[in-house]
Chain A
Amino acid sequence: MTQPPPRLLDDPSTDETMRGALEAGRAELPSEAQLDALAARLGPLLGPGGGGGPPADPSPALGGGGSAAAKAIAGLGLAAAGVAAVLFVATPDDPRPPRPPPVEAPVIEAPVVEPPVPLGVDVPEDVVEDPPAEPTPVPSRPRQYETDPAAELALIRRSQDALRSDPGAALALTREHERRFGPGTLAQEREVVAIDALHRLGRDPEARTRAAAFRRQWPRSAHLRRLEVLLEP
């Protein structure tokens, strides 16, 4: 049987350069903010009812303040039915009553003033995104938005998937979400994607304005830490 060699850091003959490098490699651990952001993305798996086990320890690292919407979008590996169940849970940040189940009647949409940006098309860099006063502006007259949670989740997932490879397309998808679902259950996630996309497009002033509006609307959101990390100078 081969005896295991001493690890390099336990071996006195290891040179100082190697020793310093290995020690530095071992020392790199995520910050609390990074762990919080990760926990927020895993919300439905960590929280009550999400993991099938007992409730998560209310440690800050577990992002206990995560909203049901955050939980819904974070669990991308979950079956749609399971996710849909989470979508209808009211959240402390969201004063709106729980949304009704999807209706069978055809959706009636109010006229759209601005045509949506075609999907997959980059927004020109010089076009300044007009940040709304609030992330989910209230229309001047009642409007009926779509209420299909699976469709809403699928759209947000597409926008998240597009973020890294094509932030312009991701931004366009968030506009589509806003047009179709308005203040939907995943409005927070839509705003996070939009802010991230603006940042990736180098449009930080707009990203910051939109992040400030996000904070006003959802001051206890689990996504705030992620936004802070994203936009820190």
Chain B
Amino acid sequence: MEASTQTSSPPFAVIFREHAPLVWRALRRLGVREADVEDLSQEVFVIVHRKLPTFEGRSALSTWIYGICVRVASDHRKRAHVRREQPTERVPDERHSAPQLNDLAREQARALLDRALETLDDDKRAVFVLYEIEELDMPQIVEALGCPLQTAYSRLYAARKLVQAEMTRLVGDVQ
């Protein structure tokens, strides 16, 4: 039966409980629209379940799952019919209460981040997201993406420059 898992792997339900929030967040930062993230999260976990028997434990389980996230998100974005999300920058309204203002500020900051991330190609975006948002170490990123270490570093430095430049431009446009 396909569903059997190695004794070294935790039960699938435990894997889901521990990783679902991270999978969700990673997919969002990797460019999956909010309307699609549930579908794509399901796809990730179906793959995890199907491939768990072949997971050899050479990397951390979370690293392996992040690698699946990157591939699923990349495939999704390459499909012709997928529209890229166009984050909107909303100006907080004075009528909002303090908690709402905080929410709006966070939403605005997130929209800024996503817009800056849109300037990156999939390879640079994956390294940036896994390092700066998901806080993986570089060797983990190399495992997840299957690229040489120096390549990962190069992508990270290039991504940082591009994201910073785009944020500066966007903030300048608003002001």
Contact = CB atoms under 8 A, between A and B. Distances in A.
A5 B107 CA distance: 28
Per DSSP, chain B at the interface is helix
A23 B135 CA distance: 12
Per DSSP, chain A at the interface is helix
A189 to B, nearest CB: 14
Contact of A39 (B1, B16, B132): B16
A8 interface: yes
Contacts of B5: 51-53
A45 B3 CA distance: 8
Contact of A2 (B13, B114, B153): B153
Contacts of A29: 21, 24-25
B20 A61 contact: yes
A59 interface: yes
Contacts of B3: 45, 50-52, 82
Contacts of B91: none
B112 interface: yes
Contacts of B138: 4
Contact of A54 (B11, B81, B112): B11
Interface in A98-156: none
Interface residues of A, number: 48
A137 B105 CA distance: 48
Interface residues of B, number: 55
Interface in A1-42: 2, 4-5, 7-9, 17-18, 20-30, 34-35, 37-39, 41-42
A231 interface: no
Contacts of A27: 106, 110
B12 A46 contact: yes
Interface in B1-50: 1-5, 11-14, 16-17, 20-21, 24-25, 28-29, 36-39, 41-42, 45-47, 49-50
Contact of A23 (B36, B81, B107, B109): B109
A52 B49 CA distance: 10
B1 A56 contact: no
Given A22-B132, A35-B21, A53-B12, A45 B106 contact: no
Contacts of B109: 20-21, 23-24
A45 B45 contact: yes
A18 B170 CA distance: 12
A5 B156 contact: yes
B76 to A, nearest CB: 12
A77 B20 contact: no
A13 to B, nearest CB: 11
A37 B39 CA distance: 10
B150 A57 contact: no
A24 B49 contact: no
Contacts of B42: 38, 41-42, 74, 76
Interface of B: 1-5, 11-14, 16-17, 20-21, 24-25, 28-29, 36-39, 41-42, 45-47, 49-50, 81, 105-107, 109-110, 112-114, 116, 131-133, 135, 137-138, 149-150, 153, 156-157, 160, 163-164, 167-168, 171
Given A18-B167, A28-B25, A52-B1, 9 more contacts: A4-B137, A21-B116, A24-B110, A25-B110, A30-B21, A46-B12, A56-B11, A77-B47, A82-B2
Interface of A: 2, 4-5, 7-9, 17-18, 20-30, 34-35, 37-39, 41-42, 45-47, 50-57, 59, 61-62, 74-77, 79, 82, 164-165
5 contacts: A26-B133, A34-B38, A41-B42, A62-B13, A77-B47
